[in-house]
């Protein structure tokens, strides 16, 4: 390999990995990288005006493409701005390679920040490159670690002098990894023996079902079992919501799990967190005597917080098929017939279409604020059947799911575990860049949108065709709901009065004005009748647009 500066070796390594976009916000230490990119046409630099927007773009891109994205931030100062969404990427297993250029190793006496240590709690693996010759091998490992199940973010720090130093180190790709881990037949037999006896089975599916492309296999397993199906939240299209056995997503509070599984005698969790609650350890989620089986590619998730009767460590598609085969072999004819009857009862009880939202209520002849349900019903009216929905609606999510169905054609990406808001604005741009032939609609809460509103500038500058629909309820409504849950579940008094300090926004965010200032066409809407026509027009524009929809924020 010919001698070239480390910065050129870096870009060659990205080419070898099939990277097309570098998401970032540069600083002086990244000057060498930016100079190299200037003459490297195979890579497109997508500038974000704030680091959280860059992290959201990389996360959305990686999730839609199913392969690692590359994001470059600036030393410790820019890197710190991106850490909140790195928390989400780590909790959700997003495969991405985060990087930053550090100061020169010659500054050792003055002091250099240990950037690897800064990111360590929220990455699978990290390293600092101090010599140009290390760049190809370190990047190769970073990409390999990011895409090896359980997937997740990795971090590489580049010492500034390593980017200038010449090297002839060869570049080679991390390559495809065969990660189809087959389940232990003994574990499948033990699980199937319990499932065969189930009279009231329930299935809990998580985001890894979608991430590891196991939806079809899990659907077949659910049908064979005749089980009700619930989602551990709904961060992706992890089970078609049009299916008669689909019940609903469960927010991360143990009370919802208790209600869902109150009659279950066995719960089969597949690729899901078991169980998660924001307030306390999620004990008592299952009724007395109920059994738990957990199938997962992430072995550390099995038995992590909940005693598990049978754990099956496996690729999710292979594991679901193996469980289904073992179940069909072990069951008696009577048990098979009972499963079919359960599935039929669920099909008979399932409405053919989502219930229509009630119109805004009136009091003394005056219209009140638009309910979130009315907003979502209007969006559903104009939403294309093959749209990609980026769901950062937070407290409005139940209303979105009540109105909009998701399946293999109309898929969804929502923020994953981690708890940081601000993901959806950049996330929608990343999804759109990863799927340029699909229309992308971002449904984003006003509080989340304000954290990374700078993403609107990127949308305008690169003309990325995302239509943002802002749920503008003039408050952090999810915090109000959580406070009321705390009153009820921890303090034992759900009726405690509260002024919701710091949760109302007395000067409501005018996201439409902000969008127009950033170069994105926008309009503010307070009548649900105007939503569907506005969305249709925005989708036809083939460019970015924003609908700032004013809704009721009361709890």
Among residues 391, 469, 388, 379, the alpha carbon closest in space to that of 436 is found at 388
DSSP codes joined into one string, 369-382:
PPPHHHHHHHHHHH
Helix, strand, or coil (residue 305)? coil
* Residue 231 covered by a domain: yes
Which contiguous run of DSSP H or E holds residue 514? helix 511-518
Residues 221, 150, single domain; the answer is no
* Residue 226 covered by a domain: yes
Among residues 317, 349, 381, which one ends one of the domains? 349
Q: Given this model, what pLDDT does residue 361 score?
A: 45
* Residue 77 covered by a domain: yes
Residues 374, 345, single domain; the answer is no
Q: Report, as an integer, the average pLDDT of 454-462.
A: 98
Q: Report, as an integer, the average pLDDT of 430-440.
A: 97
Q: Report, as an integer, the average pLDDT of 446-458.
A: 97
Tell me the CATH number at 242: 3.40.50.1220
Three-class secondary structure assignment of 465-501: CEEEEEEECCECHHHHHHHHHHHHHCCCCCCCCCCCC
Residues 503, 367, single domain; the answer is yes
Q: Given this model, what pLDDT does residue 415 score?
A: 86
Q: Given this model, what pLDDT does residue 255 score?
A: 85
Residues 302, 219, single domain; the answer is yes
Among residues 187, 196, 276, the alpha carbon closest in space to that of 231 is found at 276
What's the rounded Cα separation, in Å, for the pair 173 and 16?
A: 5
Residues 193, 163, single domain; the answer is no
Tell me the CATH number at 433: 3.40.50.970
Q: Which sign does the torsion angle of CA 215, 220, 225, 228 carry?
A: positive
Q: Report, as an integer, the average pLDDT of 16-40.
A: 96
Domain that holds residue 154: 4-167
Q: Where are the beta strands (DSSP E) in 306-351?
A: 310-313
Q: Given this model, what pLDDT does residue 368 score?
A: 55
Among residues 531, 555, 526, the alpha carbon closest in space to that of 545 is found at 531
Burial class (CB in 10 A: 0-12, 13-18, 19+), 380: buried
Give backbone dihedrals phi and psi of 333, rounded to 5 degrees, phi first. -55, -35
Residues 100, 220, single domain; the answer is no
The pLDDT tens digits for 56-97 are: 999 999 999 999 999 999 999 999 999 999 999 999 999 999
Cβ atoms 193, 167 nearer than 8 A? no
The pLDDT tens digits for 140-158 are: 999 999 999 999 999 999 9
Q: Report, as an integer, the average pLDDT of 295-309.
A: 92
Residues in Cβ contact with 220 at an 8 Å cutoff, skipping those fewer than 6 apart:
320, 321, 324
Q: Given this model, what pLDDT does residue 277 score?
A: 80
Q: What is the mean pLDDT of the chain?
A: 93
Residues 418, 504, single domain; the answer is yes
User: Which DSSP symbol is given to 105?
Assistant: G
Q: Given this model, what pLDDT does residue 312 score?
A: 97
Residues 333, 398, single domain; the answer is no
Among residues 247, 286, 237, 242, the alpha carbon closest in space to that of 266 is found at 286
Among residues 349, 375, 399, which one ends one of the domains? 349
* Residue 555 covered by a domain: no
* Other beta carbons less than 10 A from residue 4's beta carbon: 16
Q: Report, as an integer, the average pLDDT of 461-483.
A: 95
Residues 401, 468, single domain; the answer is yes
Q: Is the pLDDT reported for residue 21 higher than 80?
A: yes
Residues 246, 374, single domain; the answer is no
Q: Given this model, what pLDDT does residue 353 score?
A: 60
Among residues 104, 132, 167, which one ends one of the domains? 167
What's the rounded Cα separation, in Å, for the pair 227 and 33?
A: 53
* Total number of domains constituting the chain: 3
Q: Report, as an integer, the average pLDDT of 476-497.
A: 91
Q: Report, as an integer, the average pLDDT of 117-123.
A: 97
Of 102-106, 279-283, 479-483, minimum mean pLDDT range: 279-283
Q: Given this model, what pLDDT does residue 3 score?
A: 94
CA atoms within 13 A on the CB side of 526: 7
What's the rounded Cα separation, in Å, for the pair 436 and 357?
A: 32
Cβ atoms 456, 431 nearer than 8 A? no
Residues in Cβ contact with 375 at an 8 Å cutoff, skipping those fewer than 6 apart:
396, 399, 469, 471, 528, 531, 549, 551
* Residue 144 covered by a domain: yes
Residues 397, 500, single domain; the answer is yes
Q: Given this model, what pLDDT does residue 295 score?
A: 98
User: Which DSSP symbol is given to 53?
Assistant: H
* Residue 355 covered by a domain: no
The pLDDT tens digits for 345-403 are: 999 997 766 555 554 443 433 345 899 999 999 999 999 999 999 999 999 999 999 99
Residues 260, 399, single domain; the answer is no
Cβ atoms 162, 101 nearer than 8 A? no
The pLDDT tens digits for 536-545 are: 999 999 899 9
Helix, strand, or coil (residue 112)? coil
Q: Is the pLDDT reported for residue 253 higher than 90?
A: no
* Residue 356 covered by a domain: no
* Residue 342 covered by a domain: yes
Q: Report, as an integer, the average pLDDT of 404-423.
A: 91
What's the rounded Cα separation, in Å, for the pair 196 and 137?
A: 49
């Amino acid at each position: 390999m010919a001698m070239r500066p480390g910065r050129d070796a870096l870009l060659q390594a990205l080419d070898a990995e099939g990277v097309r976009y570098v998401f970032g916000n540069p600083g002086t230490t990244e000057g060498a990288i930016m100079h190299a990119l200037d003459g490297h046409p195979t890579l497109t630099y997508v500038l974000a005006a704030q680091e959280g927007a860059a992290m959201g773009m990389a996360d959305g891109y990686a999730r839609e493409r199913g392969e690692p994205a590359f994001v470059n931030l600036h030393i410790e100062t820019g890197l710190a701005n991106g850490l909140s969404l790195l928390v989400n990427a780590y909790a959700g297993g997003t495969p991405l390679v985060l990087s930053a250029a550090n100061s020169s190793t010659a500054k050792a006496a003055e002091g250099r920040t240990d950037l690897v240590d800064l990111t360590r709690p929220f990455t699978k693996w990290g390293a600092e490159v101090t010599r140009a010759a290390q760049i190809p091998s370190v990047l190769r490992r970073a990409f390999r670690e990011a895409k090896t199940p359980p997937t997740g973010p990795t971090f590489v720090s580049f010492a500034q002098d390593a980017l200038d130093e010449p090297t002839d180190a060869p570049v080679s790709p991390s390559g495809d990894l065969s990660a189809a881990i087959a389940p232990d037949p003994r574990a499948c037999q033990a699980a199937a023996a319990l499932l065969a006896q189930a009279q009231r089975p329930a299935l809990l599916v998580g985001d890894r079902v979608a991430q590891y492309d196991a939806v079809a296999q899990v659907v077949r397993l659910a049908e064979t079992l005749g089980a009700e199906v619930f989602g551990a939240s709904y961060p992706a299209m992890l089970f078609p919501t049009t299916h008669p056995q689909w019940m609903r997503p469960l927010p991360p509070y143990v009370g919802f799990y208790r209600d869902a599984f109150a009659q279950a005698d066995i719960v089969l969790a597949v690729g899901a967190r078991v169980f998660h609650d924001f307030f306390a350890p999620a004990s008592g989620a299952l009724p007395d005597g109920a059994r738990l089986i957990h199938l997962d590619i992430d072995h550390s998730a099995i038995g992590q917080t909940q005693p598990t009767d049978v754990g099956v460590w496996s690729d999710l598609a292979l594991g679901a098929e193996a469980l289904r085969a073992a179940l069909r072999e072990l069951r008696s004819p009577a048990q098979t017939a009972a499963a079919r009857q359960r599935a039929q009862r669920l099909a008979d009880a399932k409405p053919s279409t989502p219930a229509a939202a009630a119109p805004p209520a009136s009091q003394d002849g005056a219209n009140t604020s638009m309910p979130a349900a009315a907003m979502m019903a209007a969006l559903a009216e104009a939403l294309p059947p093959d749209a990609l929905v980026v769901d950062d609606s937070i407290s409005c999510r139940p209303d979105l799911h009540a109105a909009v169905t998701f399946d293999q054609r109309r898929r969804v990406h929502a923020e994953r575990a981690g708890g940081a808001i601000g993901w959806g604005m950049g996330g929608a741009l990343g999804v759109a860049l990863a799927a340029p032939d699909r229309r992308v609609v971002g449904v984003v809460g006003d509080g989340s949108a304000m954290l990374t509103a700078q993403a609107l500038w990127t949308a305008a500058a690169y003309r990325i065709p995302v239509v943002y629909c802002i749920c503008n309820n003039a408050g952090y409504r999810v915090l109000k709901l959580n406070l009321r849950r705390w009153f009820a579940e921890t303090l034992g008094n759900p009726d405690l009065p509260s002024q919701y300090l710091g949760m109302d926004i007395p000067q409501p965010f005018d996201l439409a004005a902000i969008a127009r200032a950033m170069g994105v066409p926008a309009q503010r809407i307070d009548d649900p009748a105007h939503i569907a026509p506005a969305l249709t027009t925005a989708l036809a524009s083939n460019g970015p647009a924003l609908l700032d929809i004013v809704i009721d924020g009361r709890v």
